[in-house]
Amino acid sequence: MTGGGPAGPVRTAVVTLARPAGAYDVVSLAVPAAPDWSAARPGQFLVVPGSPGRGDALPRLHWLADVSVDPVHGTAVEVAVPAGGGWDLGHRLRLLGPLGRGFGVPTAPVPALVVGHGGSAVPLRWLVARLRARGCAVHVVLSADDPDEHFEVASLRRQTATVRLTAQPDLGRVATEVLEQEPRIGVVYAAGPRASVREVAQAAVAAGRSVRVSALDLDEPLLCGTGLCGQCDVRTTGAAGGRSLRPCLHGPVVPGEQVLDAPR
């Protein structure tokens, strides 16, 4: 491991496993042990710097799908990449991470609603596992542009009280329905395109529930992921005046109230 700048440490990772999961390959990476892996949370991400010499100028950002820290077997990090993305066994790569602020879980076992769309749902299986470990009953609402893009739904069904699949424009409406049907839900989590997380945040706040959202959409190509370019900025227009939020630096997970009035 070498030291990094403000963006975080640069690490060398080795691909140890790749298995197909619908539209994705779930890739396991062996990484050097470090305290920030032990503290990693769903909602954090990795940046794989671009390689202009290979015609790959932009960095690639990947959600952490899971992190396992084992003193005997080492530290393993999972990411999901497009199926056939060329992450072959033994491939070595440099990466930055874990970056950003992830989803926390409640201190008490309160029922939770988890909402996500497409590739933004990659961290949610891990989030659900952590909620279940805390004793929280979990309800899930997912959408995807293609059925193959639902990430590990079978695993989610085994861990949760309910899973509802819908279309992206209906995420906010379905989240509202679940909140009406399950009045004991105390906390809502959302990840997806900006318009979707805003609608889910509005539904949660209207229902008086606590809400955390991921304000970064990695299905969009991004220029840096380390706070330098401003491409991911969310500008809001609240009564207190306009604000700007830079999710890759100040999030990506933020209180839902911060995106309630973000434009589409």
3 state DSSP class of 116: strand
* Interface with ligand FES, residue 225, by CB under 6 A: yes
Among 223, 236, 255, 261, binds ligand FES (CB under 6 A): 223
According to the binding rule CB under 6 A, does residue 17 interact with ligand FES?
no
Q: Which residue stretch of 4-12, 33-41, 230-238, 253-261 sits at the interface with ligand FES (rule: CB under 6 A)?
A: 230-238
Half-sphere exposure of 132 (CA within 13 A, CB side): 16
24 within 8 A of 218, measured Cβ to Cβ:
no
Contacts of 146 (CB under 8 A, 6+ apart): 23
Sequence-ordered strand ranges (E) for 37-104: 45-48, 60-63, 66-70, 74-82, 92-99
Give the DSSP H or E segment for 141. strand 138-143
The answer to the question of residue 229 lying near ligand FES (CB under 6 A) is yes
DSSP helix/strand/coil, 166:
strand
Q: Any idea how long the chain is?
A: 264
227 binds ligand FES (CB under 6 A): yes
How many of the chain's residues bind ligand FES (CB under 6 A)? 12
- Least distance in Å: CB of 91 to ligand FES? 25
Instruction: Compute the least distance from the CB of residue 79 to ligand FES, in Å.
Output: 18
Of 17-25, 123-131, 156-164, 225-233, which part binds ligand FES (CB under 6 A)?
A: 225-233
| Residue 52 C-beta: closest distance to ligand FES, Å | 17
Q: Which of 185, 232, 234, 259 is the binder for ligand FES (CB under 6 A)?
A: 232
Nearer to ligand FES (CB atom), residue 232 or residue 259: 232
Place of tokens 């306009």: 242
- 96 touches ligand FES (CB under 6 A): no
Binding segment for ligand FES (CB under 6 A), chosen from 8-16, 117-125, 132-140, 224-232, is 224-232
User: Site for ligand FES (CB under 6 A): which residue of 136, 178, 224, 262?
Assistant: 224
Distance in angstroms (rounded) separating the CA atoms of residues 220 and 115: 19
The whole-angstrom separation of Cα 202 and Cα 257 is 8
Q: Which of 181, 48, 193, 176 is nearest to 116 (CA)?
A: 193
Nearer to ligand FES, 84 or 263 (CB): 263
Among 48, 64, 191, 222, binds ligand FES (CB under 6 A): 222
Query: Cα–Cα–Cα angle for 110, 113, 119, nearest 5°?
Result: 135
Q: Which residues in 129-188 contact ligand FES (CB under 6 A)?
A: none
3-state SS of the chain: helix, strand, coil percent to 5? 25, 35, 40
Contact stretch for ligand FES (CB under 6 A) within 64-72, 131-139, 217-225, 252-260: 217-225
